[in-house]
Amino acid sequence: MKKLTSLAGTVLLILVLTLSGCQDSAPVNDATGDAEVVVEVTASNYAFDPEIIAVEKGQIVRIELTITEGTHDWVVDEFDAATSVAGAGSTVAVEFEASQSGEFEYYCSVGNHRALGMVGTLIVEDE
Ligand SMILES: [Cu+2]
């Protein structure tokens, strides 16, 4: 009986070690954990690439904006989504839920960039 108990203890110990090992291998600060769609966007003077982004209604979208020249951000008013303003060489991100379908304009809010044509279209399709 005592031998059986110690065997069970050994099995339990191995199980605990295995499970904790799995947890250690998971990313600790995974900011992309909630996002279902990750879109890489490039900003330059004065344009976004791509100019059209299509997602599905209800998706959690993560925009990763890389600035190649100048100073820019990425904003969609309807979803209250905006990256911080950043300069050349940086990448900034924003996550939001595409909670309504339709076509929405995204733009750069820095200076007169929007008027200079720094805009694009976010298409949210019904599921
Ligand atoms: Cu800009």
pLDDT tier for residue 127 given thresholds of 50, 70 and 90:
confident
- Output the CA 103–ligand 1 centroid distance in Å: 21
Which letter does DSSP use for residue 57 in this model?
A: T
Instruction: Give the pLDDT score at 36.
Output: 92
Gap between the Cα atoms of 107 and 112, Å rounded: 11
pTM for the predicted model, two decimal places: 0.74
- Output the CA 64–ligand 1 centroid distance in Å: 15
Gap between the Cα atoms of 102 and 67, Å rounded: 27
Q: Tell me which of 1 and 82 has the higher pLDDT.
A: 82
Instruction: Give the pLDDT score at 43.
Output: 98
Which CATH number describes the domain made up of 37-125?
Answer: 2.60.40.420
pLDDT in tens, 19-64: 444 444 333 344 556 899 999 999 999 999 999 999 999 999 999 9
- Output the CA 56–ligand 1 centroid distance in Å: 26
- Output the CA 82–ligand 1 centroid distance in Å: 13
pLDDT in tens, 62-82: 999 999 999 999 999 999 999
- Output the CA 61–ligand 1 centroid distance in Å: 21
